[in-house]
Amino acid sequence: MSKQKPLRYRERKLLRVYAHCELSMTPQAFYGKWDVNYEQIAEICHRSLSTVRGWFQQGEYYRSPNSSDLRHLAMMDFIWQEFEAIPDELWQKLCNSD
C-alpha cells in the first residue's frame, strides 16, 4: 500500500479556496446562454430528464437543483468558454482522457 501524501500549507490553502468557491450557475441562466436542450443539461448534471424538466417548472411541479447541479453547469460553462486556454496535458490529467 502506498503512503498517503501529507497536507502541507499549500494543500490546506487550496482546500480553503476550493471549499469557499462559489462556482454556481442556474439551469435557467445556462439554458439562456447556450443553445442546449434539457437532455444535454441532464447529461451534464448526471440527472434524469424528468428531474431537469422539474427545474424549469413552476408551482407544485418545480424541483430545485442542488449545489452539485449548479456547480456542474458552472463548470461546463467555464470549460466551453475557456477550453482553448486549458493545456492538453492538464485536460488529460483532469479527465483521464486520451
pLDDT digits (tens, 9 = 90+) for 55-78: 999 999 999 999 999 999 999 999
Compute the distance between CA of residue 91 and CA of residue 58 in angstroms, rounded to an integer.
38
Give residue-wise pLDDT tens across range 5-47.
999 999 999 999 989 988 999 999 999 999 999 999 999 999 9
C-alpha cell of 26? 442556474
Whole-prediction pTM? 0.83
What are the distances in angstroms from CA 94 to CA 28, 30, 35, 48, 98? 27, 23, 25, 25, 11
Amino acid identity of residue 92, one-letter, is: Q
Amino acid identity of residue 68, one-letter, is: S
